[in-house]
Amino acid sequence: MQRLLVRPPSPRLAEGELTHLDRVPVDAELAGEQWERYVAVFRERGWSVTELPAADEHPDGVFVEDTVVVFDDLAVITRPGAASRRGELDSVRPVVEGLGLDVAAIEAPATLEGGDVLKVGRVAYVGRSSRTDEAGIDALRDLLAPRGWQVVAVPVTKVLHLKSAVTALPDGTVVGHPPLVDDPRVFERFLPVPEPEGNAVVVLDPGTVLMSAAAPRSAEIFRERGLQVVTTPVTELEKLEGCVTCLSVRLR
């Protein structure tokens, strides 16, 4: 079964953390409608959806991917680099434990956010960013090495998280908007896309990806590669440096 972990957006979404974007008005009601449409895409394709408890006191709580990363049957509870987000973990761990996964955690003082972790095959590319430090990368490497995973550190200076710059298509090709990528040579296969919103894709199945409706030229590139592309608007979440990947945790 494919399972999705999500959390509804807080009415205080507009107060969320920002690092590389200027603050602009955010329509919290529209954000809620866009989140519902996003979740519906997965439900329509047979995904089982588990909704985390609302965390209205945490403006960034909707970006649940940052709080837990799943590798096979191991769930790693992160330690966000933004101190304002660490309270989100209290409601994440009990839900994850209830799914029957092995659970480990990144311990202080190390920091790691899930948006900095891109999985391609058995390689976990981890962004060394303003939110994830060297100690967090080392801690993740220690957890994953016995399970046959390779951890590769990647510099991230131009965007919030690694997955704000790059994600991967079903065949493992890494896609990104070049001005946002520190060093595309890190990746075995890299496909440039013309729009900054086009660098974020979620794999729904081996032939289908989900992406923002704000990147039609990138979507066409993916269609030309034989993929079915599903688009959904996430404009209000993008204003807070969010994208289609960070709105959920996918368990396959």
Residues designated as active site: 161, 246
Order of strands, edge to edge, in the sheet holding 3-6? 48-51, 3-6, 249-251
d(CA 122, CA 77): 19
Backbone angles phi, psi at 66, to 5 degrees: -70, -15
- CA-nearest of 103, 6, 97, 109 to 50 is 6
Q: What's the half-sphere exposure (Cβ side, CA atoms, 13 Å) at 16?
A: 31
Other CB atoms closer than 10 Å to residue 186's CB: what's the count?
A: 15
DSSP state of 122: T
Residues in the chain: 252
